Amino acid sequence: MREMRYAVDVFERDTHERWLSLLSTVWRRVVDSMTGSARELMPVDTFEWQRILRRVQIPASAKHLGLMMSTYANGDGSHIVAGVERLARVMCVSEPTVKRGLAELRRVGLVERVKQGNRHAKKSDEYRLTMPSDVLDLPMLDPDEEAVSGGHS
């Protein structure tokens, strides 16, 4: 009986996954919200993350910030502790520009704050490079870096 239930569970899961792959991006998001699925942020190594960032279509200032942040990351994409003030200084931009770029990178799921800093103690937030589980839904260049894919034109 247990083996039969396992086979049914596997069939239902495989069928569910096949149907989800057929749904458009919009409907997939509706189904995810109804089933409680949420976007997950997965840690990714620095080199792979840079390859993703190179293709993702986001504002140039956010992309520049992301590349700069990745130079402060460990090889596994963790332990980025360069603060807003430092990033603004090395990028030759204003602090509000860095804050807007950080907001964009966090919005699309390419960075995650893992530890909040303390301005009074002069401690910066700590970030890590991430890849969102819905990365293929983001507008991005195709692997040949010629056309935009991800359900966007």
Domain boundaries defined on the chain: 2-35, 41-141
User: Using an 8 Å Cβ cutoff, are 133 and 97 in contact?
Assistant: no
DSSP state of 133: T
Write out pLDDT tens, residues 75-123. 999 999 999 999 999 999 999 999 999 999 999 999 999 998 887 888 8
Distance CA 30, CA 48 (A): 30
Nearest to 50 by CA among 66, 39, 38: 66
pTM above 0.85, yes or no: no
- Annotation: CATH topology of 41-141: Arc Repressor Mutant, subunit A (1.10.10)
**Phi, psi of 12, rounded to the nearest 5 degrees:** -65, -40
Write out pLDDT tens, residues 25-64. 445 555 555 555 567 889 999 999 999 999 999 999 999 9
